[in-house]
């Protein structure tokens, strides 16, 4: 089956100030219609860069190699105009900070109408569609909130409005970049519930990008675990969570407060720090922090080992 969106050996680096920062290193990823795919990892692992690459919204100083396919067509080979036609209509994104995703001097309603500029229909029809979408994502009194500015909405309402904006164009691919960041526990639960409802109705694919393992467990079918710009483990959520094989994945799960035993001392941490992205990585990016690492881990990139159907790990210490 042809994936809706996929990458093959996708690498992204940024040039500036005499150094080249490698944000993504050979990422291969796929998401098919009807599934929800998670991308998880700590800050700085390349999650948001991957999202920006999928949206073709990387800055001018970005150097991109590899393939990025939408329905089997290499998006990187398209013109700027052709890429622009895909954004919003075919590939849409719920940005990490809805406060900055909306224009502060325009009402929410006006922006939701203008987002539909490429769609047929009169302005009145677009206003009606926008109001209906706000109601669908759970915003009470949508007609009133259409006339409000982004700073007049609460954090949860802003996030719901951002979801409404992304859904207005009925995209095939919906990316959600840290959809519950900066929300309190109650509002986070509401947004997760909303996304769970959306997955039942959405005919395309939803990609959830987060550092929150609980969000992945609640919403996703498959997960890609990223570290230092590359995918180190991938597979079905249940398989990865209950039989994590990469040392980094195991450490990440062990550090999750939801899995830690209460009253057993401080939360575990992963010793060391992420490698400098401006320095070449010869072997495994996690080697300097891994208790199992040997000399070959520091010298040669580990192979991709298939431990079960669809469950792939990049580690020398893993056997099929």
pLDDT in tens, 177-219: 888 876 777 777 888 888 888 877 777 899 999 988 888 988 8
Rounded Cα distance between 85 and 93, Å, is: 14
Q: At the topology level of CATH, where does 5-90+171-279 sit? A: Rossmann fold (3.40.50)
pTM tops 0.75, yes or no: yes
Alpha-helical (H) ranges within the chain are: 47-54, 80-86, 98-101, 108-114, 123-136, 142-146, 155-167, 185-201, 213-219, 237-242, 247-254, 295-299
Q: Where are the domains of the chain?
A: 5-90+171-279, 103-169
Express as a percent the part of the chain with pLDDT over 70: 98
- Tens-digit pLDDT profile for residues 117-140: 888 899 999 999 999 999 988 899
Torsion, Cα of 155, 157, 158, 160 (10° steps) = 120
User: Residue 223: its pLDDT value, please?
Assistant: 97
Calculate the alpha carbon distances from 297 to 95, 245, 282, 305 in Å: 36, 16, 9, 14
Structure tokens at 127: 């206003």
């Amino acid at each position: 089956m042809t994936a809706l969106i996929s990458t093959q050996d996708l690498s992204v680096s940024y040039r500036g100030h005499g150094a080249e920062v490698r944000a993504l290193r050979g990422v291969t990823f796929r998401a098919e219609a009807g599934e929800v795919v998670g991308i998880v990892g700590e800050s700085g692992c390349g999650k948001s860069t991957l999202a920006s690459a999928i949206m073709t919204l990387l800055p001018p100083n970005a150097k991109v190699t590899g393939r990025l396919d939408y329905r089997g067509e290499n998006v990187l080979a398209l013109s700027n105009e052709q890429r622009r036609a895909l954004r919003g209509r075919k590939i849409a994104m719920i940005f990490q900070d809805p406060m900055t995703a909306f224009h502060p001097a325009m009402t929410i309603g006006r922006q939701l109408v203008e987002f539909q500029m490429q769609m047929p229909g009169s302005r009145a029809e677009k206003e009606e569609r926008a109001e209906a979408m706000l109601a669908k994502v759970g915003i009470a009194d949508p007609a009133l909130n259409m006339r409000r500015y982004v700073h007049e909405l609460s954090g949860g309402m802003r996030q719901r409005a951002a979801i409404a904006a992304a859904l207005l164009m009925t995209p095939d691919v919906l990316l959600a970049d840290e959809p519950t960041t900066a929300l309190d526990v109650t509002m986070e639960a509401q947004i997760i519930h909303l996304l769970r409802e959306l997955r039942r109705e959405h005919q395309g694919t939803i990609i959830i990008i987060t550092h929150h393992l609980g969000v992945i467990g609640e919403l996703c079918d498959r997960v890609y675990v990223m570290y230092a710009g590359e995918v180190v483990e991938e597979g079905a959520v249940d398989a990865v969570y209950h039989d994590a094989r990469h040392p980094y994945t195991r450490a990440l799960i062990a550090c999750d407060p939801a899995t830690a035993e209460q009253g057993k001392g401080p939360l575990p941490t992963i010793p060391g720090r992420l490698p400098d992205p401006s320095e070449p990585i010869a072997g495994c990016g996690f080697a300097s922090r891994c208790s199992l690492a040997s000399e070959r881990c520091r010298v040669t990139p580990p192979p991709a080992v298939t431990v079960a159907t669809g469950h792939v790990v990049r580690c020398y210490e893993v056997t099929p």
